[in-house]
Copies of this chain bind each other. A is one copy, B any other.
Amino acid sequence: MSEEKLLDERKKSILKAVVDDYIATAEPVGSKALVSKYHFNVSPATIRNEMAELETLGYLEQPHTSAGRVPSDKGYRAYVDNLIQVEELPDEDADRIRDYLQDSLTELTGLIRKASSVLSDSTGYTSLALSPHMRRSHLQQIKMLMIEPGRALVVVVLSAGVVKDRLVRIPDILDANQLMQIAAAIEEGLSGMTLDDITMVTVASAARNAPLPESLLNQVLYEAYVAIKQADNLELYIDGQHQLLSYPEFHDVGKARCFFNTLARDGIIAGYMNEMKEQEPLQGDPALANNDHNRTAITPFKEQNPSYMIRIGQEIALDGLQDCSFVTTTYKVGDVIAGRIGVIGPRRMAYGKVISNISFVKQTVNEHLKRLARGDEILEERQK
């Protein structure tokens, strides 16, 4: 199994060709097809020997004797870590994405949803987008707006210009003015704190001077507290589930059902994506290291782009997605990494295309969110 030897250049290019071809055709690829399509200057027999070796090394698999080879998880892993070359996104695609995301400048969730949607459209796979977590954000404002007796809208403004609100019940006898005062007191006491640091206790102490009997006050404070805390709620946007049904790996309805069932539990997926942050990226395969030939060595994708996280097949720790691959990256709100956006599809995924698309979407989203945050800085300066 181990005993890793360096793969020579020819093995690498054969491996790459096999993966490329299998991605394109979904058919096991044989030695003869390889030589003719990829212009190797050797005979099929030579390729066969090499492929046999790649198989014993664990990079390829055979569905059965006398079928072609198919990449294993390890094969895909080597491919994405060291062999892939990612072209830049064609201008027309880039323009389309930019245009589509253009008009949702002001609202964060709208932008994330659209990002998810466009990503699914342009890759042809299923896209996932996790709303940013905000626990490190600072509370900037909290307002309470009387809607009618007994109901109010709590508006929470966070650093980086993120706005969340929530409709709540309040005691019937409170009037708009009292409500505003309470909100002002809370804002006075808490603004600048991170969501993480705000607790029911800090909320209560911020508002201790409010001119209200405690029982009434408590209900309002509780609702304010909940509104603040739910500003950090993770939301998962999934788009383009239907796309996967086009691929032969999902022609078996059992597989498809399994996949859809898993995606339907969006809490689990959201949790999984969220925890990815903390994980070390899986380490690459030393056998693929660039053995310093004078050969034009392409810098491996992995080293250029440490912020991309790719999970292949069994690497995905979610039941029902073991036949899939998962490519994600992070986006920032202001300057901090906040959310995650990505694509899920068959293991035989067009990684290059997916990465260039995600990469561009990520970049565009970051720019938009940076712009939001800039308005934010202006505000902070004025306050000084």
Contact = CB atoms under 8 A, between A and B. Distances in A.
A375 B263 contact: no
A155 B149 contact: no
A356 to B, nearest CB: 24
Nearest to A248: B253
A324 to B, nearest CB: 15
A96 interface: no
Contacts of A143: 145
A11 interface: no
Interface string A345-384: 0000000000000000000000000000001101100100
A167 B157 CA distance: 12
Given A241-B260, A256-B245, A375-B148, A153 B167 contact: no
B106 A151 contact: yes
A155 B153 contact: yes
Given A241-B260, A242-B264, A151 B161 contact: yes
Interface in A233-285: 240-242, 245-246, 250-251, 253, 256-257, 260-261, 263-264
Interface of A: 105-107, 141, 143, 145, 147-151, 153, 155, 157, 161, 163, 165-169, 240-242, 245-246, 250-251, 253, 256-257, 260-261, 263-264, 375-376, 378-379, 382
